[in-house]
Amino acid sequence: MNDTPTPQPGKVLVPAEELRAFAAALLEKGGLTAEHARTTADVFVWAALRGVDSHGTARVPAYLDLLAKGVANADPAITIESTTPAAAVLDADRAPGPVALSAAA
């Protein structure tokens, strides 16, 4: 996949790596660890590159708000509650979604 979409009138294009670094820096300032900030930014940029803007970097302000209010846990203790041969139950401790899904993967 090309990381540089075709320019469209009224849109500003930012190279994916720059956007990823900027989003990660904002999320880290919002309280996430550097690792969790990078993971969350990676998922947001991945979604944005695929045209799913509702789950892309447009989510950064909402996540910063969730972190500031304590709704999302900036330093979650993610644990495996139970497992079967085909599935597991993960307690993500209110981790941001991208952090929880990465731990589950």
Residues 6-17 pLDDT 10s? 667 887 888 999
Looking at the domain assignment, is residue 3 inside a domain? no
pLDDT digits (tens, 9 = 90+) for 23-58: 999 999 999 999 999 999 999 999 999 989 899 999
Q: Which helix (H) or strand (E) holds 22?
A: helix 16-29
When pLDDT is cut at 50, 70 and 90, the band that residue 3 belongs to is low
Q: What share of the chain is helix, strand, coil (3-state, %, to 5)?
A: 50, 10, 40
Establish if 8 belongs to a structural domain. no
Q: List the CATH number of the domain containing 42.
A: 1.10.1530.10
Tell me, what's the pLDDT at 104? Answer: 86
Residue 2 included in any domain? no
| Domain that residue 100 falls in | 16-104
Total residues belonging to the chain: 105
Q: Would you give the end-to-end CA distance of the chain in angstroms? A: 22
Write down the pTM of the prediction: 0.84
Q: Is residue 52 one of the residues assigned to a domain?
A: yes
pLDDT at residue 1 is higher than 70: no
**Cβ-contact 41, 20 below 8 angstroms:** yes
Query: Does any domain span residue 6?
Result: no
